[in-house]
């Protein structure tokens, strides 16, 4: 592709992106595609000779687009949001054009310095105390892995990387049953082993860890000669928004010298609003916090901010300096690849800078407040509708509900059918979870272009499809 064509196709892509957003409501939210359908249409082998861009682009529109689930759809109420605010898409385009590599200060000085500045902007936006610095990772999973590795090395006096875990005391990590599966994977990958992830029972309105049980588990492990290393707490768990009482958990961490990592991947965005900060009271006691601006806040994927209180511990765990990566005589500079597992790093700070400047914190707060309000209102309406029950009340903009099978049939099968029918219908998109072993349907509002009318349409769709199921009866 020469420069003239690059110009032309970049323009076409930009036009396409704007058209796409404008016409999203016309598409079904979840791809209505059967497994293998798209794969069957793709040529089996790469072409020997270049093809015209016209044809490549036409195939994208014709073959690929119908197989996409539209995360930017205003009626996407499944999982958690993955917003790509247009301004962050523009920043991403510039980053891609530069092919920036941001492993060391000197490989992209502006990227490193903007990253440091953006971490501090976000710290202030969330009202975290000074003393937290941080790094932008690709995903919360990577940030949690970095934190778990740091817990491990800190507990082993930095001997794990050198000598492996054989012959070491078993390391113990504590978390509730509401944490994301990325915690399990971090435990596997770090060699700690699932058997050493101690699940603490939860209690209370927000299903936080039973702090007395947490402390008892730590004490028992110490007495048994095991090595308690850290706690992973969550604010806004993926299933129903499970949230730990951070102040009490941090107390236990402090008393026993444990490293505390807090996963607020989704809910962290709402902490730009002072009225929601009660959810993470005590956050200043954390050693590490992860929050994904690529979810609710609107930074195009990927952009995961990890705050750390003591970067030296993480750098001591992850930094490796072969000769070709040494930047001689550049003391005082930051090389962010030393804070993360991958060496190569994307320039993720630019989209955050564009986003925060274009929307302002007030703009973002207004959006988040709307989503929370609409969600609470929808939960209220559903709770007042005969045949429905609320399973978990709104934690920010997330709640779950269930439809009671009319003839007293199998509730799980009935609600799975309901959610499948709703998603086949295409007007809205919802996902399910399990609460105390039983299926529940999740709802969250968080898409940038969503309106209250979209949430009303969710209500109408849920009630209409449930009524249809009632008519045909329950097949289990
Ligand atoms: C989304 C989410 C994750 C995983 O985030 P990735 O960035 O996809 O790794 C982890 N924890 C919570 C609470 C989440 O909501």
Same domain, 162 and 281: yes
Please choose from 135, 141, 290, 348 the residue to mutate so as to test ligand 1's pocket, defined by most ligand atoms within 8 A of CB. Answer: 141
- Position 199 in a domain: yes
**What residue has token string 């049939």?**
409
* pLDDT for position 331: 66
Same domain, 6 and 144: no
Token pair listed for 96: 């891609």
Same domain, 73 and 151: no
User: Which CATH number covers residue 402?
Assistant: 3.90.1150.170
Residue ranges for the chain with pLDDT beneath 50 = 474-476
d(CA 270, CA 286): 18
CA of 170 to the centre of ligand 1 (A): 27
Contact 373, 127 (CB under 8 A): no
C-alpha of 148 from chain center? 17
Beta bridge partners of 429: 76
* pLDDT for position 320: 81
CA of 138 to the centre of ligand 1 (A): 11
* pLDDT for position 361: 98
Same domain, 382 and 302: no
Same domain, 25 and 136: no
* pLDDT for position 324: 64
- Position 38 in a domain: no
| Ligand 1 within 6 A of CB of 243 | no
Query: If you count them, how many residues does the chain have?
Result: 476
d(CA 164, CA 195): 18
* pLDDT for position 330: 58
Q: Can you tell me whether residue 202 is helix, strand or coil?
A: strand
**Is the overall model pTM greater than 0.85, yes or no?**
yes
> CA angle 134-236-270, nearest 5°?
65
Same domain, 334 and 369: no
* pLDDT for position 476: 42
* pLDDT for position 406: 84
Same domain, 74 and 152: no
- Position 51 in a domain: no
- Residue 120 contacts by C-beta under 8 Å, 6 or more apart in sequence? 133
Q: What is the pLDDT of residues 7-19, one digit of tens each?
A: 999 999 999 999 9
CA of 78 to the centre of ligand 1 (A): 14
- Position 234 in a domain: yes
* pLDDT for position 338: 93
Which of 223, 178, 219, 234 lies closest to 201 in space, CA to CA? 178
- Position 254 in a domain: yes
Which of 133, 442, 448, 443 lies closest to 312 in space, CA to CA? 133
* pLDDT for position 333: 87
Q: Could you give the number of structural domains in the chain?
A: 2
- Position 353 in a domain: no
Same domain, 76 and 153: no
User: Which CATH number covers residue 178?
Assistant: 3.40.640.10
End of a domain among 298, 319, 346?
346
- Position 307 in a domain: yes
* pLDDT for position 299: 97
Structural domain boundaries, residue 469? 1-30+69-84+360-476
Same domain, 215 and 274: yes
Contact 287, 260 (CB under 8 A): yes
End of a domain among 346, 370, 399?
346
Same domain, 295 and 389: no
| Ligand 1 within 6 A of CB of 238 | yes
Same domain, 381 and 304: no
Same domain, 281 and 163: yes
């Amino acid at each position: 592709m020469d420069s003239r064509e690059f110009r032309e196709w970049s323009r076409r892509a930009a036009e396409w992106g704007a058209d796409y957003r404008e016409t999203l409501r016309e598409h079904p939210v979840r791809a209505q595609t059967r497994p293998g359908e798209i794969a069957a249409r793709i040529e089996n082998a790469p072409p020997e000779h270049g093809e015209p861009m016209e044809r490549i682009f036409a195939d994208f529109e014709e073959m690929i687009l119908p197989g996409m689930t539209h995360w930017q759809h205003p009626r996407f109420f499944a999982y958690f949001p993955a917003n790509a605010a247009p301004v962050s898409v523009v920043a991403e385009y510039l980053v891609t054009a530069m092919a920036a590599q941001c492993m060391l200060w000197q490989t992209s000085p502006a990227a490193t310095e903007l990253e440091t500045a953006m971490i501090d902007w976000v710290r202030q936006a969330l009202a975290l105390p000074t003393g937290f610095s941080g790094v932008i990772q690709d995903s919360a999973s990577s940030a949690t892995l970095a934190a778990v590795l740091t817990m491990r090395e800190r507990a082993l006096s930095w001997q794990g990387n050198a000598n492996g875990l054989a012959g070491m005391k078993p390391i113990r990590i504590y978390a509730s049953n509401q944490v994301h599966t990325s915690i399990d994977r971090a435990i596997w990958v770090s060699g700690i082993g699932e058997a050493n992830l101690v699940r603490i029972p939860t209690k209370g309105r927000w299903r936080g860890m039973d702090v007395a049980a947490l402390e008892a588990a730590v004490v028992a492990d110490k007495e048994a000669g095991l090595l308690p290393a850290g706690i992973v707490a969550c604010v806004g768990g993926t299933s129903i928004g499970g949230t730990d009482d951070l102040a009490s958990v941090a107390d236990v961490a402090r008393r026993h010298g444990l490293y505390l990592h807090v996963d607020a991947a989704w809910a962290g965005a709402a902490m730009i609003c002072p009225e929601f900060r009660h959810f993470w009271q005590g956050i200043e006691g954390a050693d590490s916090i992860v929050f994904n601006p690529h979810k609710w806040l609107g930074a195009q994927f990927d952009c995961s901010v990890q705050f750390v209180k003591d970067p030296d511990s993480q750098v001591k765990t992850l930094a490796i300096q072969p000769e070709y990566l040494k930047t001689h005589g550049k003391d005082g500079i930051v090389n962010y690849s030393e804070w993360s597992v991958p060496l190569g790093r994307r320039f993720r700070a630019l989209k955050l800078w564009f986003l925060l400047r274009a929307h302002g914190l007030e703009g973002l707060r207004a959006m988040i407040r709307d989503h929370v309000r609409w969600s609470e209102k929808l939960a209220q309406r559903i709770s007042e509708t005969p045949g429905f029950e609320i399973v978990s009340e709104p934690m920010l903009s997330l709640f779950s509900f269930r439809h009671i099978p009319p003839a007293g049939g199998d509730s799980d099968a009935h609600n799975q059918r309901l959610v499948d029918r709703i998603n086949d219908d295409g007007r809205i998109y919802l996902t399910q979870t399990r609460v105390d072993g039983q299926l529940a349907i999740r709802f969250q509002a968080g898409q940038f272009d969503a309106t209250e009318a979209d949430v009303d349409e969710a209500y109408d769709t849920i009630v209409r499809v449930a009524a249809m199921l009632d008519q045909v009866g329950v097949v289990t």
